[in-house]
Structure 1
Amino acid sequence: MTHQTGTPVQHATATGQIDSAADATLLVDEDTHRWIPGSRTIRFGGDYNPEQWPRETWDEDIRLMREAGVNLVSIGIFSWALLEPREGVYDFSFLDDIIDLLWKAGIDVDLATPTASPPAWFYRKYPHARAVTREGIPLAFGSRGIVSPSSPEYRKASRAIASRLAARYASHPAVVLWHVHNEYGTPVSESYDDASVIAFREWLRQRYTDLEGLNDAWGTAFWGQRYGEWDEIDAPRATAVVTNPAQRLDFARFSSEALLECYRNERDAIREHSTQPITTNFMAITCPSVDLWAWADEVDIIANDHYLIGEQADNHIHLSRSADLCRSLAHGKPWILMEHSTSAVNWQPRNIAKRPGEMRRNTLAHVARGADATLFFQIRAGRKGAEKFHSALIPQAGEDSRKWREAVRLGGDVAALSPLLGSRAHARVAIAWDWASFWAQDLDFRPSADLDHRERIEAFYAALWRRGITVDFVHPAADLGTYDVLFAPASYLLDDDAAENIRSFVAAGGHFAASFFSGIVSTSDDVPYGAYPGQLRDVLGLVVEEFLPLREGERVALQDGAHGRVWSDDITLRGAVTVTSYNEGPAAGGPAITRNSFGDGTAWYVSTALDGDDLDGFVVGVLGAAGLPYSPVSDIETVTRFGEDRTFVVQINHGDVPGGAGVEGVDLLTGERVGSSELLAVGEVRVVEVSSSSSDARS
């Protein structure tokens, strides 16, 4: 059946189901946080693509979903060509059928707009709307990915399909959440087409008002790049050598904002018809092209996709880092794990399968760090297309498989965790995280090819993780008042507001620890007057007269027995004291690690890349000075979630020996009581409801 106009579908309430958001009895406070209507436990499910399967498979899929405890599925993500087979002609018949079937089975729907994959007719009719690479190559139809985010035709078409979907399904009781697009910034993060250039110029007008301000910010006196007319400005395409770094930084900002405008365009179209929460799925760790601090308050609920790098030995730590970043984007409120994998993915150089129990550990680690919904890509493994070797809840091997049995067990585990719904993890330690700084540091002509902001953040985070410290990530200009310690492993760019915010934090009694190549430039990748690090030299109590990067593979010994690599600095103290010095290398005899009293607080500076026990010693020293408790180095992941009157400790054993003693209470996963001397077996998980006296309240 083809529908030229969308008519909302009315449905009676099935027995035992919640009819609408207004009727839902939620276990979270809707006055302070919007959540998925009808939630009575942690949500469990995944991305479902019924359009890829014959009709008779749908009933089998739904039977298996019920067996596994699935209560939420995402549908429609890549179905634009089916829903609008010709421009302005809509056919919602397959969605009508599948949404009704899911509703009757008691499974709620996260309904997506399909705008991440425009149909073939759009590419044919609007070829100028294609995304264009920096090298000038237009991207053709036949894969996935947005066209030009600035294309007026794309904006109009995406708003139209979003509006039609919302008008038709807003009143359907199965639809509890709206899912706009899919993974903004992946695989298309920027476009150099004509519409983008026009939009970029307008963005620059709004930012700088006049060309004098732009020329000053971009430093166009260098290499004779001055602009005399707005229409002389292009996108920063590939050039003979290095393109103006401030221009490239601004284009990165513009591109993130252009994608955000696409999201707002669809979100607002949905909101005209619907009251359900609206979100989109971030890729917080793996998509560096989108400034998610700017996006966080635009979605009703933070949602994220996370995939392990299978070959990383400590990928469970990187998983925790992603989860902590998502909780931070949510300002501590519960969030959605919109996608992760049951086992191997299909797009890594070597797609490593998850070992027995690993899927369970991965899922419950996200829950530990604040996810109140855990979904997979995908429900059923595909037979065709680019992702046919990607794992799924229902694997190619079917029900008679270890992976399916693990999925059913996991669904039962998640159902047992209803007491956690709405509780929150807390952190007293933060790590500075700023996408604009990362964009700037990754530009050309930096002092060393070995500078790697992600590596330094990962290293500091891992050291804190192994000491049992729950970490928030924070923009350096954000409110720091709830933290005792702020680490800045890689804050190359600090604008004036961020620098002043850090000064105020330390002066008020905070503890701040910066690593090398931090505080070097301000907003436009410009070096402040005077010696490095211009944005931090007063709070750190030192100046760097010259960078002294090390040769590839070079290591230098420090006076305290530690070793550094990648970097060293020629430091002159301006109030700070030396913690340890260099014994060798280009900075031999000079300070390597310093400490400075600033107001009521303390600031540390480490001028080289420490690793392993050396970095652990530095981190522990900062934590100790701040009076924060920390655990012995361990592979037992321990996170505490706090409810209004209940406390839950999640422990996951990633190591090869039992551990984790000291927790006492009832394990929600087994219903059995855990004694304080009881160790957690290798590979196992427990979620213990404890009395307030048996848990450190805010570690």
Structure 2
Amino acid sequence: MNRAIPGKRIELGVCYYPEQWDESLWVDDYKRMAAMGFSYVRIGEFAWSIFEPLQGVFSFDLFDRAISLAEKCGLKVIMSTPTATPPAWLTHNHPEVLNVSKDGTTHHHGLRGHYNYNSSTYREFTKIIVEKLTKHYANHSAICGLQIGNEFNCESNVYYSDADHDAFREWAKQKYGTLDQLNDAWGTVFWNQTYSDWEQVFLPRVTPADSDNPHHALDEKRFVSDSTIRYAKLQADIIREHAPNHWVTTNGKFGHLNHHQLTNNLLDFYAYDSYPNFGFVFSEGEDDPLFDRKWSWNLSTVRDISSQFAIFEQQSGPGGWVNRLEQPTPKPGQIKLWTYQSIAHGADMVLYFRLRTAIKGTEMYWHGLNNYDNKPNRRLKEAAKIGEELKRVGENLFGTDYLAEAAILHDYDNEWDGELDTWHGPFTGKSIRSWFKAFQYQHIPVDCFTLDDDTTLDQLMTYKVLVYPHAAIVTPKRAKLLEQFSEQGGTLILGSRSGYKNEYGHAYMKSFPGLLSDLAGVEVNDFTRINKVDDTPYIEWGEHTVKAETFNEVLTILSEKTTVLATYQNSYYANEPALVRTSFGKGTCYYYGGVFNDQLADLLLTDTGLKTRSELTLPKTIELAIRASKDKEYFFLLNYSGEEQTITLNEPMNELLSDVTFQSACSIEPYGVMILTKV
């Protein structure tokens, strides 16, 4: 697919639910949207019972009026298919469409996302409503594109209805062909799990120890992803048949879904829902949490899916359901900060959630730009200021690319395998957080890059440094690709528990790190989890002492081109190698037999020689992101601090938002944003 947002400049918009408000409010709402500089209004994703109030009875009158009025006010409309929330008549008359939990409990009507993708009944009703809606609005001049559903896999990313078990059985037949191959892939010889008839094959079910066969569980995630994409394709195909002039996307990023496959096969571009205030709720107990700054990593993962992407829900108020997710109100400046955070990382369209705060329902505390009283407030004023800025500068930034010389590698197999396997899964999240902090605080922009079977060496060679912390599953093809990257001059950084599993999650009969031993220049001769009752080991690297928490591997050197950088201390393996650097071809591979922490990631990044840009000297609280066209670079400076910060300029630069030229220094306000270009 094209994966490009149509237009010439970055534009704003807002989510709106005309069905939830008295029609007398619409005109004023639309006029205020336009006055704030908004171009788009997104509607319809939860309105199935409006479009089809009774089975087979269709009504588009309400949305016809709402869309025509929006167009008169100068707004473009993004229409959504309403399939994220089946109506009560459907779930009541056809309970087979409902999702079921692993223990067999049916998810009933009353929230959202309570359907299953594989119900033939639900798929048939989906076809009907999507076709009716698409045909009705195919040629409406106000509508610019369609969104499929809403936030696939949000409320649940596991599915255990009878239809899902049946579909999984057929999926497994297609994948393996024979029961012998399935039994081998799932290692069913262990604990007498061998299947002798296809009717015995189900998705994972409740077991005595509340744990699943790991290879079976890995395939479950692959199946859920394929089911989700198959359901999305059903809708995308209908839209492209009947409304070929409209672009197609979907929104949100949730688990058990290969978003790259979804986007590449079905969408014109990807859309994300960005709520940085979650960072203040889920700080993960770190001594130095990133809070809302962490959303730059989330946005990097989205940029990896779709280099041009949209934000369909940008946080604009405090967030919370009636029973959870308590979030503070954005401080003055934070809405602007978060908006430009999204733009800095590649967003070429930003829609706020939502214009009006709901006065009833589960999300009555999930605030939008308006409060209940509908009076002017500082959040509305802040959004209007952003709209005014983007009308002036959006054309400069639109379609530019994010620049990074380093990437943190990701792949779906290890993500999904690591959900069950605590011997590598939790390590990855911890290490990525530490590496992201190192890149952030050294002001070195970094990408997320997802490896798959189609990844080429040319793609990897656009980076100088790659970090692949704890990739347990590594195929021979992937191992060779990583070797070629280092041979051609790249720097690769690996961590413990790397390279020891095949594509099914079986352990290779090799010393760790398995297929990566030659590249890393080591093999593991001993290993241990760190017992909570023992003193935490540490490593010594020159004058630095670094804790070696969580997991330790004791390394044996295999290559004369390997240098020991650090050794363990205060343990039974004291003075044994812990961290090494190996010359491999023209490049370098670092291997650490542990889980990365903030200190070690910072030291290793420095050792690679990769440095921030020379044009600026920045304090720690400032994020640097760079977007570039063919002939110009835009330096985004984002201040996550509530205090004013001083920026040192090593050459004169112009600030795009204010059109002021600074010679040697400037200040950035609390939660402020600057976009600098070279004079």
TM-score, scaled relative to structure 2: 0.92
The code of the aligned residue for 1:436 comes to D
Q: Using the TM superposition, name which of 164-173 and 399-408 deviates more.
A: 399-408
Structure 1 partner of 2:647? 660
The answer for the alignment partner of 1:345 in structure 2 is 319
Match of 1:429 among 375, 386, 406: 406
CA shift, 1:290, in A, is 1.6
Quick check: 1:45–1:379 contact (8 Å CA) kept in 2? no
> What's the secondary structure of 1:198's corresponding residue?
helix
Of 300-309 and 471-480, more deviation after overlay is shown by 471-480
Q: Distance in 1 between matches of 2:123 and 2:352?
A: 29
Hey, what does 1:569 align to over in structure 2? Answer: 553
What are the superposed Cα offsets for residues 441-460 of structure 1, whole Å, 9 maximum, x if unpaired?
Answer: 1215x448x93422221221
Conserved 8 A contact 1:399-1:405 = no
Structure 1 residues 629 and 498, CA gap change in structure 2 (3 angstroms): farther
Change (3 A) 1:327 1:349: closer
1:33 deviates by 5.1
Aligned to 1:202: 170
**2: CA distance, partners of 1:82 / 1:158:** 15
* Range that drifts further, 432-441 or 309-318: 309-318
Matched, 1:362 2:338: yes
The offset of 1:42, in angstroms, is 1.2
Contact kept? 2:495, 2:596, Cα under 8 Å: no
Give yes or no for contact 1:653–1:659 (8 Å, CA) kept in 2: no
Tell me what 2:432 maps to: 457
Query: Which residue number corresponds to residue 258 of structure 2?
Result: 291
Deviation at 1:564, TM superposition (A): 2.0
1:363 to 1:202, Cα distance in 2 relative to 1, 3 A: same
Q: What's 1:35 paired with?
A: 5
Q: Is the contact between residue 249 and residue 436 of structure 1 (CA under 8 Å) also seen in structure 2?
A: yes
Residues 625-667 of structure 1 show CA distances to partners (whole Å, capped at 9, x for unaligned) of x677687762211222111333222112223352332263432
Deviates more, 1:170-179 or 1:550-559: 550-559
Q: 2:487 aligns with which of 507, 518, 521?
A: 507
Distance in 1 of aligned mates of 2:233 and 2:370: 34
In 2, the alpha carbon distance for the partners of 1:632 and 1:545 equals 43
Q: What whole-Å deviation, never above 9, does each CA across 1:345-381 have from its counterpart, x for those lacking one?
A: 1145432222111111011011011101111221211
User: Is residue 590 of structure 1 aligned with residue 576 of structure 2?
Assistant: yes
The correspondence for 1:165, drawn from 129, 133, 146, is 133
Q: Which of 232, 241, 261 is 1:272 aligned to?
A: 241
Partner residue in 1 for 2:415: 438
- Superposed CA deviations along residues 300-324 of structure 1, whole A, max 9, x for unmatched, are 1111112122244522321111111
Equivalent position SS for 2:601 = helix
1:291 deviates by 2.1
How many residues were matched structurally? 650
2:667 is aligned to: 679
Deviations 1:124-149 (A, max 9, x none): 12112210111111100010114111
Runs of 4+ off more than 6 Å: 630-633
1:405 pairs, out of 363, 381, 384, with 381
- Which whole-Å deviations, capped at 9, do the CAs of 1:10-55 have from their partners, x for residues lacking one? xxxxxxxxxxxxxxxxxxxxx965323xx34212112111100111
For 1:684 and 1:664, the matched residues in 2 are separated by: 20
Identify the range of structure 1 (120-129 vs 677-686) with the bigger mean alpha-carbon deviation: 677-686
Q: What is the letter of the counterpart of residue 654 of structure 1?
A: Y
Equivalent residue number for residue 26 of structure 1: none
User: Aligned in 2, Cα 1:547/1:136: closer, same or farther, shift over 3 Å?
Assistant: farther
- Which whole-Å CA distance do the structure 1 matches of 2:632 and 2:406 have between them? 23
Partner SS for 2:529: coil
Structure 1: gaps of 5 or more residues: 1-30, 692-699
Q: 2:626 aligns with which of 627, 634, 640?
A: 640
Percentage identity across paired residues of the two chains: 27
Deviation at 1:540, TM superposition (A): 0.7
Paired with 2:593 and 2:373, the residues of 1 have a C-alpha distance of 53
The whole-number CA distance in structure 1 between the counterparts of 2:628 and 2:129 is: 41
C-alpha change, 1:587 and 1:135, in structure 2 (3 Å) is: farther
The answer on 1:62 being equivalent to 2:30 is: yes
Could you tell me which residue of structure 2 aligns to residue 395 of structure 1? 371
User: Is structure 2 residue 665 aligned with structure 1 residue 688?
Assistant: no
Matched residues in 2 for 1:519 and 1:660: separation? 43
- What secondary structure sits across from 2:100 in the alignment? coil
Quick one: which amino acid aligns to residue 490 of structure 2? G
C-alpha distance after superposition, 1:517-555 (max 9, x if no partner): 222312111111111121321211111233211123853
Aligned mate of 1:601, from 582, 587, 593: 587
CA distance in 1, matches of 2:553, 2:12: 50
Q: Is the partner of 1:352 in helix, strand or coil? A: coil
Q: Residue 673 of structure 1: CA displacement?
A: 2.3
CA separation of 1:633 and 1:667: change in aligned 2, threshold 3 A: closer
Shift of 1:122: 1.0
- For residue 271 of structure 2, the aligned residue among 303, 311, 323 is 303
Measured after TM superposition, the shift of residue 81 of structure 1 is: 0.8
What's the Cα RMSD here?
A: 2.0
Instruction: Tell me the distance in 2 between the aligned counterparts of 1:535 and 1:393.
Output: 53
Task: Check the 8 A contact 1:75/1:110 in 2, yes or no.
Answer: yes
Q: Which amino acid aligns with 2:204?
A: P
Alpha-carbon offset, residue 492 of structure 1:
2.5
Q: What is the distance in 1 between the residues matched to 2:373 and 2:673? A: 26
In the alignment, does 2:73 pair up with 1:105?
yes
**Match of 1:669, as an amino acid?**
L
Q: Any idea what SS the aligned residue of 2:599 has?
A: helix
Give the counterpart letter for 1:187 in structure 2: E
Shift of 1:578: 1.1
2:204 is matched with 236
Aligned to 1:537: 517
Q: Partners in 2 of 1:255 and 1:80 — Cα distance?
A: 24
Residue 382 of structure 1: how far off its partner (Å):
0.5
1:488, 1:359 → 2: CA distance?
A: 33
> 1:119, CA displacement in angstroms?
0.4
Look up the SS of the partner of 1:430 in the other structure.
strand
What is the TM-score of this pair, normalised by structure 1?
A: 0.89
What residue is the counterpart of 2:100 in the other structure?
132
Please name the residue that 2:286 is paired with. Answer: none
Shift of 1:59: 1.4
Q: 1:383 aligns with which of 337, 355, 359?
A: 359
| Structure 1 residue corresponding to 2:605, chosen from 619, 623, 627 | 619
Deviates more, 1:315-324 or 1:174-183: 315-324
Per-residue deviation at 1:217?
A: 0.8
The one-letter code of the counterpart of 2:461 is G
Does the aligned pair in 2 maintain the 1:256–1:291 contact within 8 Å? yes
Alpha-carbon separation, structure 2, partners of 1:644 and 1:154: 48
**Aligned partner letter, 2:299:** A
The DSSP-based 3-state class of the residue aligned with 1:548 is strand
Tell me the distance in 1 between the aligned counterparts of 2:95 and 2:2: 45
AA matched with 2:548: G
Per the alignment, in what secondary structure is the counterpart of residue 569 of structure 1? strand
CA contact (8 A) 2:644 2:667 kept: no
Counterpart residue number, 1:252? 221
Q: Which residue identity lines up with residue 256 of structure 1 in the other structure?
A: S
Q: Aligned partner of 1:366: which letter? A: S
In 2: Cα distance, 1:122 partner to 1:198 partner: 22
1:476 touches 1:502 (CA, 8 Å); kept in 2? no
Aligned to 1:7: none
1:476 aligns with 2:451: yes
Partner in structure 1 of residue 231 of structure 2: 262
Q: Answer whether contact 2:498 2:514 (CA < 8 A) is retained.
A: no
Q: Output the amino acid matched with 1:687.
A: I
